[in-house]
């Protein structure tokens, strides 16, 4: 078991380190033939899609369909009443806001890159509020919650491709990220991955709070150490993704 885990870790690290170096070589060969579309140009263009798909696949496979080990609930280790209401509101509102903001952010970037005219209807505060409420309601139901998660991952892939397109064509889109006014991050992929990291952590909290009959019974067990430790697993996964983008540059 340990040997297999170590082997997987070595293979993952090797891929994360080697693949961006290969991409940079494809980019150098691409620069030699800017006026002609070559095989290396194709490889470089298509390589920008590989990691976003891998990230989304892993997020969907490992950070979406949660099953928590609930044993018989100890009355001394439960959360209910006002505390549960507070956790319910915080987890649902934060996740709904992150998803809504992320969708609109990438819609704004796509509009900026491919269409100079903004859509006033989509930019309306009322429209954003309706979308926020729709997403909030959808997150309460398990089936529609998974659809929202899939929609978020599709948005992440499209966002990564928009960033890839802007980098290839030397188009600056950093000013579209409000947080970048304070951090001044040169690699926009860090911000894009951070959004998905926050969404996955918030989704995990919401999945725990709304698991099975928690909301209908209005009672929830206190999280175990293993439940809290799983958040570290999510963070480690995205740390490796950050490492990949730092090597890619």
| Same domain flag for 30 and 60 | no
pLDDT tens digit sequence for 11-41 = 777 778 787 777 777 777 666 665 666 676 6
| Same domain flag for 140 and 229 | yes
Q: Count of CB atoms within 10 A of residue 150's CB?
A: 14
Q: Answer whether residue 249 is part of any domain.
A: no
Mean pLDDT, the chain, whole residue set: 83
Q: What is the largest CA-CA distance in the chain?
A: 71
pLDDT of residue 10: 75
| Same domain flag for 191 and 211 | yes
pLDDT tens digit sequence for 151-203 = 999 999 999 998 888 877 787 776 666 555 555 667 788 989 999 999 999 99
| Same domain flag for 33 and 130 | no
The answer to whether the Cα torsion of 238, 244, 248, 249 is positive or negative is: positive
Q: How far apart are CA 249 and CA 236, in angstroms?
A: 20
Range of the domain at 108: 55-67+74-241
| Same domain flag for 109 and 214 | yes
Q: Answer whether residue 88 is part of any domain.
A: yes
* pTM to 2 decimal places: 0.88
| Same domain flag for 59 and 132 | yes
Pairing between β-strand 219-221 and β-strand 78-80 as defined by DSSP bridges: antiparallel
Cβ atoms 105, 177 nearer than 8 A: yes
Check pLDDT > 90 for residue 70.
Answer: no
Q: Answer whether residue 246 is part of any domain.
A: no
Q: Answer whether residue 247 is part of any domain.
A: no
pLDDT band at 217 (very low <50, low <70, confident <90, very high): confident
Q: Which tops the pLDDT comparison, 147 or 174? A: 147
| Same domain flag for 14 and 95 | no
| Same domain flag for 227 and 129 | yes
Q: How many domains does the chain have?
A: 2
The dihedral over CA atoms of 121, 123, 127, 132, expressed in degrees to the nearest 10, equals: 150
pLDDT band at 117 (very low <50, low <70, confident <90, very high): low
| Same domain flag for 155 and 219 | yes
Q: Answer whether residue 86 is part of any domain.
A: yes
| Same domain flag for 182 and 236 | yes
Q: How far apart are CA 155 and CA 196, in angstroms?
A: 10
* Residue whose pair of structure tokens reads 């078991």 in the numeric block: 1
DSSP structure class, residue 222:
P
Mean pLDDT to the nearest integer, 1-6: 62
């Amino acid at each position: 078991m340990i040997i297999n885990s170590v082997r997987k870790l070595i293979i993952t690290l090797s891929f994360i380190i080697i693949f961006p170096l290969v991409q940079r070589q494809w980019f150098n060969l691409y620069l030699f033939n800017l006026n002609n579309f070559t095989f290396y140009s194709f490889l470089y263009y298509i390589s920008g899609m590989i990691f976003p798909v891998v990230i989304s696949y892993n997020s969907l496979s490992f950070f979406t369909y949660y099953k928590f080990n609930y044993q018989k609930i100890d009355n001394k280790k439960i959360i209910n009443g006002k505390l549960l209401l507070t956790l319910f509101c915080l987890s649902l509102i934060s996740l709904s806001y992150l998803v809504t903001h992320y969708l609109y952010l990438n819609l704004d970037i796509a509009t900026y890159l491919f269409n100079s005219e903004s859509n006033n209807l989509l930019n309306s505060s009322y429209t954003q509020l309706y979308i926020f409420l729709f997403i909030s309601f959808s997150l309460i139901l398990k089936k529609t919650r998974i659809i929202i998660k899939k929609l978020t991952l599709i948005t992440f892939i499209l966002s990564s491709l928009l960033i890839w397109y802007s980098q290839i064509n030397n188009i600056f889109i950093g000013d579209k990220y409000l947080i970048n006014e304070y951090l001044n991050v040169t690699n926009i992929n860090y911000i894009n991955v951070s959004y998905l990291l926050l969404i996955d952590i918030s989704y995990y909290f919401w999945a725990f709070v709304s698991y099975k009959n928690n909301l209908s019974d209005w009672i929830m067990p206190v999280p175990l150490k293993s439940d809290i430790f799983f958040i570290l697993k999510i963070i480690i996964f995205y740390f490796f993704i950050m490492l990949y983008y730092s090597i890619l540059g």
